[in-house]
Amino acid sequence: MEKTGPSSTQGATFLVVANRLPVDRIVREDGEVDWKTAPGGLVTALEPVMKQRGGAWVGWHGAPDEKVEAFEHDGYTVEPVPLSAQEVEEYYEGFSNATLWPLYHDAVAFPEYHREWFDAYQRVNQRFAERAAEVAADGATVWVQDYQLQLVPRMLRELRPDLNIGFFLHIPFPPLELFQQLPWRRQILEGLLGADLVGFQMPGGSSNFLRLVRRRTEHKVERDRAIVKRNGHHECVARAYPISIDSKSFSDLAQSEETKAEAEALLEELGHPSMIVLGVDRLDYTKGLRQRVRAMGELFAEGKLNPDDVVFLQVATPSRERVDEYRKLRDDIDLLVGRINSQVGGVGRPPIVYRHQSFPRSTLAAMYLLADVMLVTPLRDGMNLVAKEYLACHTGRDGALVLSEFAGAARELRQAYMVNPYDLDGMKEAIMHAATDTTQNKRRRLRSLKKQVAENDISKWADRFLSDLDDHGQSPDKAKALGDNSPSLIFTDGE
């Protein structure tokens, strides 16, 4: 991937601010610098929005201790924010991914609380806010993304009261009973309240947030908004905006001759099984992989699925590999898959084909095209875009989506075969139901699911959010009335 540059945004009127940039800077073995698509649903969702709207994307380029100049990419400007190796450890791997990530996902792993991690989180959030403040034109719209940057809205408002500030949380927002564990709960709430509009995946997220604001801050809450009185006053509206994908571009990709040829080759490689069961995930403990592999292993061992005829293809893109829980998960899955494959089936192709790798989107599309049964079984997930990608890509008329009740997508994709991933027997039954249901039933469900995804795509999501932000955001007059503000927002105490 070639980058044109250097470049610098002179007053962007639209900005996305996210921990990740759409591309990661990597140094290949021969010392050459290259850029690679960054992992995760946030990038999948926001890339087409930026391509369409232009503007600037402020974020980290994925490599520690490196300063990179701004550059042009796909019709918008990329503004890299540097992180030191220690900040990566404390802000990204620590507070973001070993404190907030497990806490916000039902505490399915134990959240760790360390004061120095939060200090780093504040410092890095301040840096992102400062960069956004430098780059934004007068009265610009700034859209801050996800749990890594929850302090940015308030910091940015202090620096630039003229901006329209939106925030979207891509992961679940936890209930009061869990969130209250966080020693820095008030700072996080005040950080988010700096936005004019805070978006959540589910209505439950916005009501959890408003309930916490009522309980834990002095701001008044009325219906779907908090009245924030500080340096003048503004209203912070909280609503749900279930995110989606660029459905058409996924389905066009799946329909291309290249993808069809790739699917043929893959089918050949897998030995033309009569059924392909597929899992596609970031290797994350929230995705329910241990439970899923165990369920499939038992179905093979019990002979309910014939290992000579059925293949379970699971691909998992490497993720957060220096965080302990992720290392443990990687070892567990390697062990579990190895054990099942050594015990079940003949001497040919193993029943579980597992690849701990990232694949190009066209290869994923080929896999979606082939999958008779798609397993999306997280223990908890903000949305889970993989479920929607399958529906956009799968054109075979009788595919089946097995979906966890604990994925945000379950609220919209009601015709899926629903499972509780904590209930192993229930999950096995649902997988068998999906695998053996009548063609007529499968087609009926799939038709309605595909329609949902085609009609509710990423541009609709972005339009809804941004038009609400326009309605509720700062008018230039209001901004003037707020006057000059002090930029210092570093908290020193716990509450």
- Which residues contact ligand F6P by CB under 6 A? 20, 39-42, 146, 170-171, 319-320, 382
Q: Which does 44 bind (CB under 5 to 8 A by kind): ligand ADP, ligand F6P, none?
A: ligand ADP
Residue placing its CB nearer to ligand ADP in the complex, 107 or 481: 107
Q: What angle do CA 304, 305, 308 make, to 5 degrees?
A: 135
Q: Tell me: does residue 364 bind ligand ADP (CB under 6 A).
A: yes
Minimum Å gap between C-beta 286 and ligand F6P is 10
Which one among 122, 259, 384, 415 touches ligand ADP, defined by CB under 6 A?
384
Which one among 79, 281, 372, 457 touches ligand ADP, defined by CB under 6 A?
281
Site for ligand ADP in 303-342 (CB under 6 A): 315-317
Residue placing its CB nearer to ligand ADP in the complex, 83 or 245: 245
Closest residue to ligand F6P, judged by C-beta, is: 40
Residue placing its CB nearer to ligand F6P in the complex, 40 or 139: 40
Which one among 78, 385, 410, 446 touches ligand ADP, defined by CB under 6 A?
385
E strand or H helix that includes residue 411: none
Residue placing its CB nearer to ligand F6P in the complex, 25 or 472: 25
Q: How many residues belong to the site for ligand ADP (CB under 6 A)? A: 19
Provide the residue count of the chain. Answer: 495
Closest CA to 398 of 417, 419, 380, 372: 372
- CA 20 vs CA 249, 355, 357, 471: distances in Å: 22, 24, 19, 28
Cα–Cα distance for residue pair 135/137, rounded to 1 Å: 7
Cα–Cα distance for residue pair 21/39, rounded to 1 Å: 10
Which residue in the block uniquely carries the two structure tokens 């066209």? 362
CA 406 to chain centre: 15
Closest residue to ligand ADP, judged by C-beta, is: 41
The stretch near ligand ADP (CB under 6 A) out of 91-99, 153-161, 249-257, 384-392 is 384-392
Q: Which does 320 bind (CB under 5 to 8 A by kind): ligand F6P, ligand ADP, none?
A: ligand F6P
Quickly count: other Cβ atoms within 10 Å of residue 107's Cβ.
13
Q: Tell me: does residue 383 bind ligand ADP (CB under 6 A).
A: yes
DSSP codes of every residue in 146-196: SGGGTTHHHHHHHH-TTSEEEEE--SPPPPHHHHTT-TTHHHHHHHHTTSS
DSSP codes of every residue in 342-381: HHSS-SSS-SEEEE-S---HHHHHHHHHH-SEEEE--SSB
Q: Which does 206 bind (CB under 5 to 8 A by kind): ligand F6P, ligand ADP, none?
A: none
CA 154 to chain centre: 23
Q: Tell me: does residue 358 bind ligand ADP (CB under 6 A).
A: yes
Which one among 211, 230, 282, 330 touches ligand ADP, defined by CB under 6 A?
282
Quote the DSSP letter at residue 106: T
Please compute Rg for the chain using Cα positions.
23
Q: Tell me: does residue 362 bind ligand ADP (CB under 6 A).
A: no
Q: Tell me: does residue 359 bind ligand ADP (CB under 6 A).
A: yes
Quickly count: other Cβ atoms within 10 Å of residue 116's Cβ.
12
Q: Tell me: does residue 44 bind ligand ADP (CB under 6 A).
A: yes
Q: Which does 20 bind (CB under 5 to 8 A by kind): ligand ADP, ligand F6P, none?
A: ligand F6P
Q: Which residues bind ligand ADP (CB under 6 A)?
A: 39-42, 44, 280-282, 315-317, 358-359, 364, 383-386, 389
